[in-house]
Chain A
């Protein structure tokens, strides 16, 4: 549950999260974009299916793994969000090859 500071500005981009349309700033990482979009969890773990969300926002915890444009296990906090990006909750272990 994050909100944007009123005077934080930037160019907006549109992306989808699990098929739903969302917006972000071009300067956001995918993780920041997901926080703003109000996403509860970004993945379920391969070990137990537990729900996880971004924790460290600096690339060391590997909790923010999502599927981006069909490719799984991408660290959302290290990837700048792009217009038209297709982001999906990563459920369990990633698929090996791109799933359309």
Chain B
């Protein structure tokens, strides 16, 4: 039985957990990350590697600002990781596009963007509505069915596998500990200290950060935190490596720096069924080929599915416990986009012992709407 202690324990070794853990380690904190094993759900494995701003924040204007902030801080994250690990995560921000395959679809998207930007407190950032011809100037290979697109210069993408590796390497370089195969079952607390335990033993910590994705729903209540999250499946297709042809990431089609083309990603409410289904990947492939007909001849070498961690309104949950001071919670489904904010802002606030006031909209208390009399 293992009995260890640390200063801050982070539960969850995905993108959120390792971003926060590295951020804490950079501030000189002693951090231990507890992770599950090789076959855990791992929402991070299903990411599309986008650093995406457009279309975010409808229903919570501050989230758009939070996302813009992160997109602007991404270059700093990339260069810090490169300095500390020598790993180049290939972050690029050429701007990104969302393509529509019918006039009706295009109109719905444009209307959605207008509603988004008409919100009060909405941050102003540039975006362009493009017709077929204008889209074709940016993307010469689009097919005739592309009705139009929305372009935003703040969108980009990154090599998320390298990001993951860099975060782990940077955490280790800063003296952080990573402990796999340590699923946390119970969290107890006494006299301001926490004990996380499982079949492997226990880890004692002065502060804890719950970044366990779907596991937060179970762990949160043990320390007075609420995390009503559900799994939401997304399937992805990856092709063989091809010579560079796509200079901009699209929200559902992007070419990685290694050459493979990623096509995604479905949105399905199928519980914990983490499988690939033919009709969905056929639909995804069909849309991709209608966007870029020349992709039809590329070979698909891989598909996979992963479960996003989705809150009721789709926005992150950042919280600190009132009943168990020192317990924090962080969950979102945009772990790549928000990595800088998690590493630089959230980590700093946790180290200081208190989440900033402007993160209040992300508390889970927003889900307890008082009943009308």
Whether A96 contacts B295 by the Cβ 8 Å rule is yes
Q: Please tell me if A80 contacts chain B, counting CB pairs below 8 Å.
A: no
Q: Please tell me if B128 contacts chain A, counting CB pairs below 8 Å.
A: no
**A35 → chain B, closest Cβ, in Å?**
24
Cα A95 to Cα B294 in complex, Å, equals: 10
Whether A96 contacts B298 by the Cβ 8 Å rule is yes
Whether B242 contacts A93 by the Cβ 8 Å rule is yes
Whether A94 contacts B240 by the Cβ 8 Å rule is yes
Cα A46 to Cα B259 in complex, Å, equals: 8
Known: A92-B243, A96-B243. A71 touches B297 (CB 8 A): yes
Total A-B Cβ pairs within 8 A? 29
Whether B297 contacts A93 by the Cβ 8 Å rule is no
Q: Please tell me if B245 contacts chain A, counting CB pairs below 8 Å.
A: yes
**B168 → chain A, closest Cβ, in Å?**
22
Q: Please tell me if A97 contacts chain B, counting CB pairs below 8 Å.
A: yes
**A100 → chain B, closest Cβ, in Å?**
14
Note all chain B residues with C-beta closer than 8 A to A29.
none
Note all chain B residues with C-beta closer than 8 A to A47.
258
B288-302 contacts to A (CB < 8 Å)? 294-295, 297-299
B230-266 contacts to A (CB < 8 Å)? 240-243, 245, 258-259
Whether B294 contacts A46 by the Cβ 8 Å rule is no
Note all chain A residues with C-beta closer than 8 A to B240.
73, 93-94
Cα A34 to Cα B243 in complex, Å, equals: 25
Known: A46-B241, A73-B240, A73-B299. A93 touches B294 (CB 8 A): no
Please name 8 pairs of A and B residues whose Cβ atoms are closer than 8 Å in the assembled complex, sorted by A.
Answer: A47-B258, A73-B240, A73-B299, A94-B241, A95-B243, A96-B242, A96-B295, A96-B298
Q: Which B positions have Cβ atoms within 8 angstroms of A? A: 240-243, 245, 258-259, 294-295, 297-299
The 5 A-B residue pairs whose C-beta atoms are closest, nearest first, are A93-B241, A97-B294, A93-B259, A46-B241, A96-B242
